[in-house]
Chain A
């Protein structure tokens, strides 16, 4: 799951080196925290959040195969 987000994020942004994904696993659910360079935030979110929504959709499909739930959080760097 982590690699999936990493791949998608790195392919979409201008600064792939700044992409960081942290995974916190619970019993049935995991939380993925995605961090990207500030200027790339828009590329990850997309117009009307479409890119972010698409990433979440794909993530949910992948997770449902493993009978898990995944939450993707996009974290803004300070």
Chain B
């Protein structure tokens, strides 16, 4: 992991230096205070503040991909052809539009059709199936690298994201109020990721996934709980 250690008259100054060295913003690094620093008396017993700044691993590989833009749109066009053909064979009249996605590696195929909820299915499973097959056929691997196809229709993704965010916050409150771990099961990978993201910034909560395959559950843990576990592990 990439990090720098800097010194300064105060912790803030040390952080400032570290950010200058790394060329990053404050929210892109994790700061650990190594020494608080003391003013001392007439220069005696003074101690410089020292911090260690670690580069937060970016959730998505952003930059460096100016050339990736072309590839992304090319994959999008191929995906569009595949999806349009599947829809035609399903007997659904539709137009498919290629749009850049939110994340740099995502390309969104937005379906406009008269079929409405039919293409979404129960909890989005039909849309998910279309996306999965289109991805397989286009031949892009899902994962850290490569372009990811995201299918959407009637703003389903946005609606789903909102309702998951609401749910995440509600369950987070519940976990804190009851001081108990709340578990959520039967969510897709993408759905779980949204919940992890929403609660990541809450200092009182930790989220974790447990189990494998379709039985994978998401746990929302009040922080106190986590600390206790960690100290147990330490023994």
Contacts and interface: CB of A to CB of B under 8 A. Distances in A.
Nearest to B117: A61
Interface in A33-78: 46, 48, 50-51, 53-55, 57-58, 61-62, 64-66
Nearest to A50: B132
Contact of B90 (A11, A46, A54, A58): A58
Contacts of A51: 132-133, 136
Given A11-B82, A66-B91, A61 B214 contact: no
A18 interface: no
Name the prevailing secondary structure of the B interface residues. Answer: helix
A11 B121 CA distance: 23
A51 to B, nearest CB: 7
A1 to B, nearest CB: 8
Interface string B126-139: 10111011001100
Range for the number of chain A residues in contact with chain B: 20 to 34
Range for the number of chain B residues in contact with chain A: 20 to 34
A11 B89 contact: no
A48 B214 contact: yes
Interface string A1-14: 00110011001100
Nearest to B85: A7
A62 B90 CA distance: 5
A12 B136 contact: yes
A50 B121 CA distance: 16
Given A7-B85, A48-B214, A53-B129, 7 more contacts: A3-B89, A7-B86, A8-B86, A12-B133, A57-B125, A58-B90, A65-B115
